[in-house]
């Protein structure tokens, strides 16, 4: 009777020492379709498609290559991923035995006239006694309570979370660089159009002035063309300023600032 009681008490204590239960994903009653749900669409995103297949512009590809290497957010995400990988490696190595080797050496020289020195010279032939030692030990933690297994599961979950975070940073970075690049192309095209309009307004103004000198038009026509020319000319420095700001922002994203 006493042995059964002790055995039951031991099992109770053993179950209390376990470090958590194995994780099992609960089955949640989720409907297959919600009311008012939109029709299924193409779910392919930039995170699932290689960006080189989406963006074929060589200049944009060069910017993206630079951003993925030199961008600070991307570098931070990569460092976090490397740290998580190290934690996962350490968790896996916890199952490996730990081996320790200690090597030592001592040297003692007795005085010439001492009892130890005289005895050493008589029996050993020298007053210097050298001692060498080597100790080899190995230890291995048995994962009885599941602590090592839980640590490895936590490290694996952290590694996967960090890997997904890096993918998210990379996807966002690629989208921002591409958006900034196409915005730069749009501003450059607008600036080219504004400069052509300015040249066209200059030609129109010269023609209207000739017509005014010939008495074919009134001074009001000349003033209208001059106002139109000034309005178009004011747009050029604004576009140039926006173009410079967009170039600087794109350099920062690509890690080329400074």
Instruction: Decide: 212 and 218 in contact? Cβ < 8 Å.
Output: yes
Alpha-carbon distances of 13 from 9, 115, 146, 151, rounded to whole Å? 6, 61, 15, 22
| Residue, of 167 and 114, whose pLDDT is higher | 167
pLDDT band at 40 (very low <50, low <70, confident <90, very high): very low
pLDDT value at residue 188? 93
pLDDT value at residue 37? 47
Where in the chain do CATH 1.20.1600.10 domains reside?
52-94+144-253
149-152: Cβ within 8 A, 24+ apart: 150/19, 150/20, 151/91, 151/94, 152/88, 152/91, 152/92, 152/94
Distance between CA atoms of residues 108 and 186, nearest Å: 86
Look up residue 255 and give its DSSP letter. T
Q: What is the mean pLDDT of residues 148-164?
A: 62
Instruction: Decide: 146 and 95 in contact? Cβ < 8 Å.
Output: no
Instruction: Decide: 203 and 232 in contact? Cβ < 8 Å.
Output: no
pTM: 0.53
235-252 pLDDT, tens digit per residue, is 999 999 998 998 888 888
pLDDT value at residue 181? 92
92-130 pLDDT, tens digit per residue, is 554 445 545 565 556 565 555 555 555 555 555 555 556
CA angle 65, 189, 179 (to 5 degrees): 35
Distance between CA atoms of residues 256 and 60, nearest Å: 14
Mean confidence (pLDDT) of the chain: 69
Q: Most confidently modeled of 35-49, 116-130, 165-179?
A: 165-179
Q: Which CATH number fits domain 52-94+144-253: 3.40.50.300, 3.40.640.10, 1.20.1600.10, 1.10.760.10?
A: 1.20.1600.10
- Does position 64 have pLDDT exceeding 70, yes or no? yes
| Residue, of 34 and 201, whose pLDDT is higher | 201
Three-state secondary structure string covering 198-223: HHHHHHHHHHHHHHHHCCCCCHHHHH
Write out the H or E segment, with its range, that includes residue 147: helix 147-213
Instruction: Decide: 49 and 170 in contact? Cβ < 8 Å.
Output: no
């Amino acid at each position: 009777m006493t042995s059964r009681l002790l055995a039951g008490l031991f099992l109770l204590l053993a179950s209390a020492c376990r470090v958590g239960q194995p994780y099992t994903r609960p089955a949640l009653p989720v409907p297959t379709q919600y009311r008012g749900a939109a029709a299924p669409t193409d779910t392919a995103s930039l995170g699932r498609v290689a960006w080189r297949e989406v963006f074929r512009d060589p200049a944009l590809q060069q910017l993206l290559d630079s951003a993925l290497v030199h961008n600070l957010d991307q570098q931070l995400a990569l460092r976090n991923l490397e740290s998580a990988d190290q934690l996962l490696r350490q968790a896996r190595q916890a199952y490996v035995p730990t081996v320790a080797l200690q090597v030592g050496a001592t040297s003692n020289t007795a005085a010439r006239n001492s009892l130890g020195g005289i005895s050493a010279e008589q029996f050993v032939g020298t007053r210097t006694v050298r001692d060498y030692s080597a100790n080899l030990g190995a230890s291995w933690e048995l994962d009885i309570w599941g602590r090592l297994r839980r640590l490895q599961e936590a490290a694996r979950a952290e590694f996967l979370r960090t890997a997904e975070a890096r993918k998210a940073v990379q996807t966002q970075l690629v989208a921002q660089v591409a958006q900034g690049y196409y915005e730069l192309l749009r501003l450059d095209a607008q600036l080219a159009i504004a400069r052509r309009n300015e040249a066209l307004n200059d030609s129109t103004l010269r023609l209207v002035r000739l017509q005014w000198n010939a008495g074919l038009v009134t001074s009001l026509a000349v003033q209208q063309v001059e106002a139109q020319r000034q309005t178009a000319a004011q747009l050029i420095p604004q576009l140039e300023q926006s173009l410079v700001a967009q170039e600087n922002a794109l350099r920062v994203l690509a890690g080329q600032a400074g």
